[in-house]
Structure 1
């Protein structure tokens, strides 16, 4: 019996726990070395419970079906060999939590991890994994409160206190507390300049407030801290590209795409690539060569149903590449999947309630069937969060709805959507440009000119 770096009792050898501690540290930094350290922990002690739990979580958090399948097989073998009789209560609770995730039940996993955090608030693995589960399910309240509920059990003397603050900042941002999120995120990065999740939280606060100039300056000042030595660098480059698009600098956004996003391999990287190109596609800027390469990369990632958020971004790539038959086939396969879904599958619920309507809408947009796009998306626009991602990521869906309403001549819908957007983010040039677009379609040329001047002023003063 020994203790981990946060003072929690662990069943395992000192060597195994040493590598486990290092793996958790690498995971909090979003560094690829987490896999090597997790492997070293199991090499030191194959039956090490927390090492097997960690390895299973890592296999599931990629949101890729092949990784999940391998993790499921390894964990079943571990449970068959070791059992849980000799484990501590916290370790048994982790085994049950990860088993729920292996079974596809995000909700039960999240609840079990929450119970662990309540009983053991210094369990960094339970906290970080629960935080990611909340992200995958789009649960803004839990993103905030899961971390907020453990904060008083950590102090500035703790090695990973800054990382906990970084998670809290992201939860605050997703829950709409932008000023507090910025404050906490900046504080997190003061503790650890290379806390890429904390940097990412600050970047989100600027995105949600339309402060694209502040976002570019913040990322530029720290480029060495977030762009190297982490598997999260692609996502933060994506944010950089979004800021560029907001300022009208399409060339810079595409430069980021070609130098970073186009080489992505993981599903997370491919999501960012599709989401950037789709924003250009909505503006009529079709990048055929880029789309073709991206669509090809998506094919093996969505061969089976696993995560509806991935499916939607694969369909973006198929539509962008003109591979409509493949987009339709994916939709047909997911429809068949729902005819006999796995028991307690969170993904099945996500697919039925949000994933399939979004995928159908994307295909309809590609076919120019704008009224159908609105028919699919308008009823679900307030619950798109249910299939995961952040507000910034899901804005691609909201922008699709808005553009379809404009192009389809559904002016009342477009006016409503634009009123919502401008009222929440009056400092977004995009919102004012779309306001101008609607005014022009209604023959209100003076109002259109005023809105365009407002957009230009915002870019100039940013």
Structure 2
């Protein structure tokens, strides 16, 4: 395989690289071990070093990024690059740029690799994840779409490419085409957990939560354990349960999959845990009380990470955990630390822009909400609601911030803003019980008893379909 070069012509190293790429596409847990073995077999192969760097960055964890940055710098300093291919040098450049903090430029460099070598699977898959981290929906779709005709439909990796394309289509709002494409990916490979994830997103965005429950239930053996997407796909299942009004079921999922006593504190899993609990926190009353003592260990897990300013999307979820646990000081200290960092210039660091424009205002809005300053929370979030994607994540993930805005408007008694926000949500997802319950609350405040009763009846009828699916 020409990507290996620099000592990578060894047949064992080639086989290990191919196995690692396959594991990466299907989110199998052995990918890091396989890459590590490849580096031992062929320490001079640049693609083994590049692959390790990418893996260290994809977790969005500062400590991992620092460790791989140091390793990668040593390799580049010691390696004789004269024998490396053009493609290998291009990957080395992309990894170096990302390690230096310029996520967007790294994504652009990987796109250039894909244009020149459209069958470079690693460039496609890593670039796709960068598009996700930067909230670039058009590139999530077009990066893969632009390479697809260079592939044979008989290639074993054609299915995972369809799964990636399906997710990009979903984030771009083309839900029908997205679902068709993602389902085709899963038909080719039942254990394509990214393809399953793309279907789950389509159903979430179209308010088809009862169907989503049935879809995930029917394939639980393929996605529910033994892969690196299991926790996130369980999070999607928990969102469906919440729409069905089954708070207890959602919390059971939280306890069994999202944050357990054996959880290792991986940030991508902590994101899902904080996001689910914050949705319950926003409900107030008995729903909020049902969280019980779950906030404290989650806040402890975030605190134990002691992360610096690495990825602002993570900071927002850490603040949620601190506020949920009643640790206002910890939330304020995190924001103060990030604000001090953001006040200094960091040219070429994508997270600096993310933090200044989106991350810090959202964190401050969450703190204001936690302090009961709902008008202030609304004022901070309202100008951001159309560009939250610029600090990463998916529509489904960012919806927790949108829900915070809705709740802030209702509690601030800003009925005109609440009406507009709920009208938008109902127009986009008229089958969402959450949206109808929000409409009922607004109608109550406005003294529109008949409208409120109709909205609650609609929410109850829709939720019943979800409960039936869960019972089935």
- What is the TM-score when the length of structure 1 is the normalising length? 0.97
Q: Does structure 2 conserve the Cα–Cα contact (< 8 Å) formed by 1:3 and 1:10?
A: no
Q: Does structure 1 conserve the Cα–Cα contact (< 8 Å) formed by 2:200 and 2:236?
A: yes
1:295 to 2:299 alignment: yes
Equivalent residue, structure 2, for 1:182 = 179
Equivalent residue, structure 1, for 2:141 = 144
Larger RCO (CA under 8 A, 6+ residues apart): 2
1:274 to 2:278 alignment: no
Q: Does structure 1 conserve the Cα–Cα contact (< 8 Å) formed by 2:6 and 2:84?
A: no
- Unaligned ranges ≥5, structure 1: none
Shift of 1:341: 3.8
Shift of 1:459: 2.1
Equivalent residue, structure 2, for 1:96 = 93
Q: How far apart, CA to CA, are the structure 2 residues paired with 1:362 and 1:112? A: 35
Identify which of 320, 324, 328 aligns with 2:332.
Answer: 328
Equivalent residue, structure 2, for 1:43 = 40
Equivalent residue, structure 2, for 1:31 = 28
1:132 to 2:129 alignment: yes
SS at match of 1:446: helix
Shift of 1:29: 0.9
1:376-395 matches, within 5 Å, as 376-395=380-399
Equivalent residue, structure 1, for 2:421 = 417
Which moved further from structure 2: 275-284 or 448-457?
A: 448-457
Shift of 1:460: 2.7
Q: Does structure 2 conserve the Cα–Cα contact (< 8 Å) formed by 1:288 and 1:320?
A: no
Equivalent residue, structure 2, for 1:446 = 450
Deviations 1:15-56 (A, max 9, x none): 212111111111111111001100011000111100000000
Q: How far apart, CA to CA, are the structure 2 residues paired with 1:13 and 1:228? A: 34
SS at match of 2:190: coil
Q: How far apart, CA to CA, are the structure 2 residues paired with 1:461 and 1:454? A: 11
Distance 1:9 1:227, change over 3 A: farther
Identify which of 228, 238, 246 aligns with 1:231.
Answer: 228
1:197 to 2:194 alignment: yes
Q: How far apart, CA to CA, are the structure 1 residues paired with 2:49 and 2:269? A: 26
1:258-407 matches, within 5 Å, as 258-263=255-260, 264=263, 265-284=265-284, 285-286=288-289, 287-407=291-411
* Equivalences, count: 459
Q: Which runs of 4+ in 1 moved over 3 A?
A: 2-5, 8-12
Shift of 1:288: 4.3
Equivalent residue, structure 2, for 1:65 = 62
Shift of 1:10: 9.4
1:163 to 2:160 alignment: yes
Q: Does structure 1 conserve the Cα–Cα contact (< 8 Å) formed by 2:244 and 2:465?
A: no
Q: How far apart, CA to CA, are the structure 2 residues paired with 1:314 and 1:167? A: 28
Equivalent residue, structure 1, for 2:241 = 244
Q: How far apart, CA to CA, are the structure 2 residues paired with 1:325 and 1:341? A: 26
Q: Does structure 2 conserve the Cα–Cα contact (< 8 Å) formed by 1:302 and 1:311?
A: no
Q: How far apart, CA to CA, are the structure 2 residues paired with 1:406 and 1:12? A: 63
- Unaligned ranges ≥5, structure 2: 467-472
Q: How far apart, CA to CA, are the structure 2 residues paired with 1:61 and 1:116? A: 19
Q: How far apart, CA to CA, are the structure 2 residues paired with 1:394 and 1:224? A: 28
SS at match of 1:418: helix
Shift of 1:461: 3.9
Q: How far apart, CA to CA, are the structure 1 residues paired with 2:465 and 2:42? A: 59
Distance 1:302 1:148, change over 3 A: farther
Which moved further from structure 2: 51-60 or 12-21?
A: 12-21
Q: Does structure 2 conserve the Cα–Cα contact (< 8 Å) formed by 1:65 and 1:301?
A: no
Question: Cα RMSD over matched residues?
Answer: 1.4
Q: How far apart, CA to CA, are the structure 2 residues paired with 1:41 and 1:221? A: 36
Q: Does structure 2 conserve the Cα–Cα contact (< 8 Å) formed by 1:162 and 1:192?
A: yes
